[in-house]
Structure 1
Amino acid sequence: MEPLDPARTDAYLRRLGVARPARPTAGSLRELHLGHLRAVPFENLSIHLGEDLVLTRDAVFDKIVTAGRGGICYELNAGFAELLGALGHRVELLQARVYGKDGALGVPYDHLALRVDGRWLADVGFGDHTAYPLDLDEPGEQRDPAGVFLVRPAPDADADGDLEVLHDGVPVYRLETRPRALADFLTGAWWHCTSPESGFTKGPVCSRLTADGGRITLRDHTLITTAADGDRTEEELATEDEVRAAYRTWFGIVLDRLPVPLHPRP
């Protein structure tokens, strides 16, 4: 597949508020990663607006850049992969299974993450996760504004097997090292968009990193502000107009109707 053309690459960079790097480096990758997390929200609104989730390069670009929206992991990391490829990075799509609160792994192709230049684990589609890429060559702990991370071989993996990503000592997801194609994730995306067992179908959520290292999240009608030090406040929005205004003010998303939970929580 041909990389993004220069005009679309520049449009994507404007969306992130990041200047075009002179060349692909670890430093420029860090800047792009942080810029994506600040500018492009993690959001599952399409599921609750009756919109199709289309995993093609054009559809992802149009949603993130042209429409000024966000998306879930398959969209956000697929879009970021295209941008990085256009800027000269070597990017591979990796599949992961996310650990639930009960310690059980999710479905196959539960999550899409990126291996960049054979070394860096980039992930702009996991919500509250790393601000910067993780170094896959680092066997020890890695400190990030979001906490302490560790990438280690999965307990039952062979020499070329799966990796586990831990956040503050807790396993987050199990990552395969074999590169995949975007089409491989269609079944996982379909499950997350339709299954009553998927957390994504239980209600709308929209969240992004803020410039001061905190996070702003709108979950249904609740606006959640989390400071960089972890201090958290919640505000219940009383009217539909207030909810639409919050989407517009905090995420740049203009809605003519509110998303309705596909499979509401009991």
Structure 2
Amino acid sequence: MNSAQVDAYLRRIGVEHPAWPTVDVLRELHLRHLQSVPFENLSIHLGEEIVLDEKRLLDKIVGAHRGGFCYELNGAFGALLRALGFDVRLLAARVYGEEGRLGVPYDHLALRVRTADGGDWLADVGFGAHSHYPLAFGDRGEQEDRGGVFRVIEAGPDAAGVRGGGGPAGFGDLDVLRDGKPQYRLELRPRVLRDFVVGAWWNSTSPASHFVQSLVCSRVTRDGGRITLSGTRLTVTAPDGRKEVSDLATDEEVLALYRERFGIVLDRVPTVREGGQKG
């Protein structure tokens, strides 16, 4: 990432160029990213190709003022952090689903970030409703955050009796919990972006993927709440958890809301086809 790309990315999230890669800078970048760049899967339902290439990710998120899902958001954010002097490692994770079962390998991409002032952090701007600030990687106690109470703990067996993805190589994995509920299991081995191509392909094409089955566009609001558009249903969540739900009646209303509340300009409304197939 060159200096012009860095400057454009920082303008996209409304942050001045930092002088030094400290934890305070990381916290500001993390929160502003969540507030500015939506978590969304619209490309899947617009027939747009998802390419895990740094330039393509920057073209989409910065150039086209779009969002994305984990591979895109954390992939691009990791590139920005690296360009600003942070030590960044990409980590693979498997997301917990129903009955505590783990999802497919490379189900999620998260970031391990080391700062110049000695911090070691789990940064994740690509998991939807999650922590607003990075989590201390080595802290095994409760970590209070505006997004909930989080813990990063040594992984135990999942509901199927599998620990760490199965076999000795999985020992040392970490589980990330939100309000006591496991969210995903992290592998500690550093990865590169191309390692996640198969996971991104599965999540964007398989009828079993919830990204294929439904639409979502969501971001953190400035007051610490959240705004989410799922198809035609708008949910505004206050910082105290209270929700206001309304349904949009026309395509024009949907397109206007994407534009005015998420900064996303579309020429047609994305829709989920019958059977969960993308369209």
Distance 2:271 2:63 in 1: 24
How many angstroms apart in 1 are the aligned matches of 2:93 and 2:273? 25
Deviation at 1:263, TM superposition (A): 5.3
1:240 has 2:251 as partner: yes
Q: 1:253 is matched with which residue?
A: 264
What aligned pairs does 1:40-119 form with structure 2 within 5 A after superposition?
40-117=37-114, 119=120
Tell whether the 8 Å contact from 1:201 to 1:262 is kept in structure 2 after alignment. no
* Contact 1:203 1:263 survives alignment (8 Å): no
Q: Which residue does the alignment assign to 1:27?
A: 24
Report the AA paired with residue 79 of structure 1: A
Please say if 1:167 is aligned against 2:168: no
Structure 1 residue 109, shift from structure 2 partner: 0.2
Counterpart residue type for residue 197 of structure 1: A
> Which deviates more, 95-104 or 122-131?
95-104
The normalised TM-score by structure 1 is: 0.96
Shift of 1:61: 0.2
**Partner residue, 2:160:** none
Give how far 1:265 is off: 5.8
Q: Give a deviation string over 1:50-83, Cα, whole Å, max 9, x none.
A: 0000100000000000000000000000000010
Q: Give the aligned partner of residue 137 of structure 2.
A: 136
Q: State the Cα distance separating 1:256 from its structure 2 match.
A: 0.6
8 Å CA contact 1:201–1:264 kept in 2: the answer is: no
CA distance in 2, matches of 1:160, 1:36: 32
CA contact (8 A) 2:207 2:276 kept: no
Other-structure match for 1:223 = 234
Amino acid of the residue matched to residue 175 of structure 2? E
Distance, in Å, in 1 between the alignment partners of 2:276 and 2:43 is 18
Paired with 1:146 and 1:48, the residues of 2 have a C-alpha distance of 28
Unmatched segments (≥5 aa) in structure 1: none
Tell me what 1:190 maps to: 201
For 1:136 and 1:102, the matched residues in 2 are separated by: 26
Q: Deviations over 1:75-130 (max 9, x none)?
A: 00000001000100010000000001321100000000000017100000000000
**Runs of 4 or more consecutive aligned structure 1 residues displaced over 6 Å after TM superposition:** none
Q: Secondary structure at the match of 2:100?
A: coil
State the alpha-carbon separation in 2 of the partners of residues 168 and 23 from structure 1.
33
Aligned partner of residue 102 in structure 1, secondary structure:
helix
Question: What is aligned with 1:148?
Answer: 149
Matches of 2:205 and 2:21, distance apart in 1? 38
Q: Take 2:25 and 2:36, find their aligned partners in 1: how far apart are those partners?
A: 16
Provide the TM-score with structure 2 as the length reference. Answer: 0.92
Deviations 1:125-178 (A, max 9, x none): 000000000001112110100111000110245796200000011111000000
CA distance in 2, matches of 1:193, 1:138: 33
Matched residues in 2 for 1:245 and 1:103: separation? 38
SS at match of 2:68: coil
CA contact (8 A) 1:33 1:131 kept: yes
Mapped partners of 1:218, 1:69: distance in 2? 14
Closer, same or farther in 2 for the Cα pair 1:182/1:213, shift >3 Å?
Answer: same
Question: Distance between the aligned counterparts of 1:147 and 1:49, measured in 2?
Answer: 33
For residues 57 and 185 of structure 2, the distance between their equivalents in structure 1, rounded to whole angstroms, comes to 25
